[in-house]
Amino acid sequence: MGRSRRKINKENKARPDTKKKSARNVKAECSVDDLLTQMESCINELQYDQAREFGETALKMAPDNLKVLDSLTGLLLEMGDPASAFELLQRMVHLEPDQGFRKYLSLGQLTDGKESLAHYGKGVQLLCDLLQKQHDSAAASEECSGTELNRALSSAYCAMAEIYMTDCCDEDDAEAQCAELVQKSIEADPSNPEAFQVQASYLLVKQEHEAAKEAMQRSLGLWLPQHERLLLGEEAGASDPVEVCPLSYSSRVSAAKLLIELELLDEANTVLDGLIEEDDEVVDVWYLLGWLNYLRGGEYKGNARYYLNRARQVAHKVHFDDAQELAHIEELLAELGPEQEEEGDEDDKGSFASESEEEEEAMEV
């Protein structure tokens, strides 16, 4: 549920924040609300460690404060500490078991199989109750239109459908459950690209390739054209393309994998290029670009070699540990072989080599 890291913010992460007081210095003089304000300010400036310090100080002062628990849980998930977040989510469930759907959706993300389905199921129940209350209320304002709730409900159904395609695929009713959940996700929010992406995945499992392609094209149509225009700055009053994109970074990586499997290589290339623009330290994205160009063959082999080498470099830098993917990268590079020298290309080759050396040096910094 955390936001994806953005390339444009990397410099900010290391910038010291000399204006902020530490949580220890303000503990005696700040209320819980003050600490939460300080925490949010640190989060906005990507000072996550200091934000956590403020949050943990607030939690010591008010261990049963649901606002504190919720804020700190979100931060812990953003920081990649699911174990600590899980403990706080369980405390939130104990304090308020029949309200607050988001904690159940988060627990669904942090668990597997039937346990995950149970958490998502409870979250869906609370979401449906909220939507029904809004439907019954003639005084519902535009702010409470239910749009966000419908999107959350649709995404929850998507997550449950994916569990029936993976962890619970051996259940007797897995296919029927998955089909029903996919349909519910689309009905809950027909504008949710994730719903059609999951439908494409389901149809692909059933070997219905043409139907899967149609579903995937519908999914792309709901977000990719606008996202491309935002990246190019062509939208009037353009916003940050990362903030307005309805699909998370990981969902777009999954979309690229599906597109490659469906042989929609141009669309996959477009999605992957956008991901690189957003964050160039994700091994999967470089690997998929290499794999895509390898599949194209012919004149694209040079591109494949370049992207796979970048995948190898990034893997070394970020200590990537997916042995199977790393082995496939090496296998493909071995098959592609070293770059071939061609007559008349010495100058170009020298220029390319110089650029490659600069990139490798930059990767090591």
Quick one: tokens of 153? 């409900």
Question: Looking at the domain assignment, is residue 318 inside a domain?
Answer: yes
The DSSP call for residue 14 is T
Range of the domain at 325: 280-338+354-365
Q: Which residues contact 40 (CB under 8 A, 6 or more apart)?
A: 51, 71
Q: What is the residue-averaged pLDDT of the chain?
A: 87
Would you say residue 319 lies in a domain?
yes
Residue 95 covered by a domain: no
Q: How confident is the model at residue 231 (pLDDT cuts 50, 70, 90)?
A: confident
Distance CA 241, CA 268 (A): 18
- Asked if 246 and 193 touch (Cβ cutoff 8 Å), the reply is yes
Instruction: Give per-residue pLDDT as tens, 313-354.
Output: 999 999 999 999 999 999 999 999 998 764 444 444 444 444
Asked, for residue 358, whether it belongs to a domain, the answer is yes
Residue 282 has pLDDT above 60, yes or no: yes
154 found inside a domain: no
Q: Is 305:333 a contact under the CB 8 Å cutoff? A: yes
pLDDT tens string 74-104: 999 999 999 999 999 999 999 999 999 999 9
User: pLDDT at position 25, please?
Assistant: 56
Nearest-angstrom CA–CA distance, 309 and 365: 17
For residue 144, being part of any structural domain is answered with: no
Judge whether 317 lies within some domain: yes
Residue 250 lies in a domain: no
Model confidence, pTM: 0.83
Number of domains into which the chain is organized? 1
Classify residue 145 by its DSSP letter: S
Q: Give φ, ψ of 222 to 5 degrees.
A: -85, -10
pLDDT in tens, 159-210: 999 999 999 999 999 999 999 999 999 999 999 999 999 999 999 999 999 9
Sheet strands (E) in the chain: none
